[in-house]
């Protein structure tokens, strides 16, 4: 994986000279000021970057542009997330990357639904959040057959609740009808 900082330096090197003049030392000057091992690492990363398909390079440039538009607080949060990611064991990093790829493959509507679910989890009170996370963990440990059984039970329970609500509505409607008839009868007698 190409480090974001290395890509940022590469992107700065490709920036027009006019914009570089406003930013202080040029990318080349900053590059020359790096220790030889860092220079070699950037050269290696640059070669890796050049081997990527054009659409992947475009995506990286767009991400860098978005990073440059971030506020200092947002930038610090991204940096902290990146440091935490790099500190993870390789198998955890791989799992995170796989989940990220799954997320990116979702439709915009599915992504928004997932974001909304996450917001609900994050804004839940601590006891509810703990319960939700325990349920999610339990779900992850289930076999596909167990998950399908759980889905079926959930569908059945949802159908039962729907039927109960319909029955309650019918009962309330019947009670209103009876009260209305009683009122009409009382008015008729008077």
Beta-carbon contacts of 8 under 8 Å, excluding residues fewer than 6 positions away, are 64, 67
pLDDT tens string, the chain, 190 residues long: the values are 444 444 444 444 444 443 444 456 888 888 889 999 999 998 998 899 899 899 988 988 898 898 889 999 998 888 888 888 889 899 988 988 888 888 889 999 999 998 898 888 888 898 998 898 898 889 989 999 999 999 999 999 999 999 999 999 999 999 999 999 999 988 888 7
The per-residue DSSP string of 85-110 comes to HHHS-HHHHHHHHHHHHHHHHS-HHH
For the record, the structure tokens of 108 come out as 């915009």
Summarised one tens digit per residue, pLDDT across range 139-155 is 989 999 999 999 999 99
* Per-residue confidence (pLDDT) for residue 27, from 0 to 100: 82
Which pLDDT score, from 0 to 100, does residue 136 have?
87
Please answer whether residues 8 and 64 qualify as being in contact, where contact means their C-beta atoms are separated by less than 8 angstroms.
yes
Residue 81 is predicted with a pLDDT of: 87
Half-sphere exposure of 81 (CA within 13 A, CB side): 8
């Amino acid at each position: 994986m190409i480090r974001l900082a290395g890509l940022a330096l590469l992107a700065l090197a490709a920036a027009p000279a006019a914009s570089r003049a406003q930013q202080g030392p040029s990318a080349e000057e900053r590059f020359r000021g790096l220790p030889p091992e860092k220079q070699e690492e950037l050269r290696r990363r640059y070669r890796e970057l050049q081997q990527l398909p054009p659409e992947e390079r475009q995506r990286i440039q767009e991400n860098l542009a978005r990073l440059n538009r971030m506020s200092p607080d947002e930038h610090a949060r991204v940096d902290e997330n990146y440091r935490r990611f790099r500190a993870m064991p390789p198998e955890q990093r791989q799992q995170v990357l796989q989940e990220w790829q799954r997320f990116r493959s979702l439709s915009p509507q599915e992504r928004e639904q997932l974001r909304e679910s996450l917001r609900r989890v994050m804004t839940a009170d601590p006891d509810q959040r703990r319960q939700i996370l325990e349920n999610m963990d339990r779900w992850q440990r289930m076999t596909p057959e167990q998950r399908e059984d759980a889905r079926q039970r959930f569908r059945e329970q949802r159908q039962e609740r729907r039927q109960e609500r319909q029955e309650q509505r019918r009962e309330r409607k019947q009670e209103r009808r009876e009260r209305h008839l009683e009122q009409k009868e009382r008015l008729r007698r008077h």
